Structure 1
């Protein structure tokens, strides 16, 4: 066998091992016996939520630190993402279901991924939203949270730690399971 074949086979074996290791990490059992599925990721290290300051629909500056002491559900979305548009209604209902002193829902529009801020505002119209809509016009949240796929939600505890990441559309059942008491 020549060196190229051996090298190629070694790379393939290494790639398969990495995929297998990742799969085991994502689907391992939690101490309480629950299985963590690939649709949500536990941050065992409880990383600090990265600070940000964004404008809301009314031009007010909103900081993540404004919600210190409260649990925050932060979701990243765009208007061109069909799942994101559907999820906006879910976020509205989630915020309606929980009092704001227990859970604050922030719907962060990745405005750098949109054609314009005006188009996003036109999309939102004058519809009342219980969730607070914020505009990431400089890509700060996208960069600080390493967002590469949407929708994605981060559950941040009252101490500012990310305790759960939900890639894809979130639902109330998933959230109920992970909300701190």
Structure 2
């Protein structure tokens, strides 16, 4: 009888220890995964792009993370920027050739750097750019993405990882190589 009682206590103790260790390991792994994911957020190739939350020129709310599952082209521009003006006709053509539901083009206007917000709509109309840019009114997005010169473009994969960063104007060759999109 004493032996059976010891076996039950031993079995119960073993079950409790195994249960405790299981919960601790699960807790540890979840924190390791969070730490690894948090370290990969950045603005370099193979980093996960920081989320962008903002409002567009037309007053729509925008959140970058809602575009997961699609490739995303993030293009930072300002209306006074001569290289931005030079690349806008290419962007207008690119937008027309993007495969629906596969690639999203997101323009981010560095509104904090503009002379006037009133310049944005005429600029887009002049280049026939069918865009509703996200407005970076206070410069937070520009700072988060470490934008030094414009235009700057990030290409994200379907998971939100940066696969290309272009400091300067986009080119037709780059678009065709990275996105496999043919522009006429």
- Counterparts of 1:132 and 1:156, CA distance in 2: 19
1:145 — aligned with what? 145
Matched with 1:135 is: 135
Q: Does 1:88 align with 2:92?
A: no
Q: 2:124·2:130 contact (CA, 8 Å) conserved in 1?
A: no
Q: TM-score by structure 1 length? A: 0.69
Q: Which runs of 5+ in 1 are unaligned?
A: 1-41
| Displacement after TM superposition at 1:92 (Å) | 1.5
Partner of 1:124: 124
C-alpha distance 116-93 of structure 1, shift in aligned 2 (>3 A)? same
Cα shift at 1:85: 1.4
- 1:131–1:71: structure 2 CA closer, same or farther, 3 Å change rule? farther
Larger radius of gyration: 2
The 1:51–1:180 alpha-carbon spacing in structure 2 relative to 1, beyond 3 Å, is farther
Task: Name stretches of at least 5 consecutive residues in structure 2 with no aligned partner.
Answer: 1-43
TM-score (norm 2): 0.68
Structure 1 residue 162 displacement after superposition: 0.6
Instruction: Tell me the equivalent position of 1:35.
Output: none
For the residues of structure 2 that align with 1:90 and 1:126, how far apart are their CA atoms?
A: 13
Deviations 1:4-25 (CA, angstroms, capped at 9, x unpaired): xxxxxxxxxxxxxxxxxxxxxx
1:93·1:130 contact (CA, 8 Å) conserved in 2?
Answer: no
Distance of 1:73 and 1:111 partners within structure 2: 19
- Change in 2 beyond 3 A, CA 1:127/1:153: closer
| Distance change >3 Å, CA 173–CA 121, structure 1 → 2 | same
1:10-49 equivalences under 5 Å are 43=45, 46-49=46-49
How many residues in Structure 1 have an aligned counterpart in Structure 2? 138
Residues 139-173 of structure 1 show CA distances to partners (whole Å, capped at 9, x for unaligned) of 12201110001111000111011111011110232
Structure with the largest fraction of helix: 2
Q: 1:52, 1:140 within 8 Å by CA — same for their partners in 2?
A: no
Judge conservation of contact 2:150–2:168 (CA < 8 Å) in 1.
yes
Q: Distance in 2 between matches of 1:180 and 1:125?
A: 27
Q: CA deviation at 1:87?
A: 1.5
Residue matched to 1:104: 104
Q: Name the CA distance, whole Å, in 2 between partners of 1:86 and 1:100.
A: 25
Alpha-carbon distance between aligned partners in 1 of 2:104 and 2:146, rounded to the nearest angstrom: 22
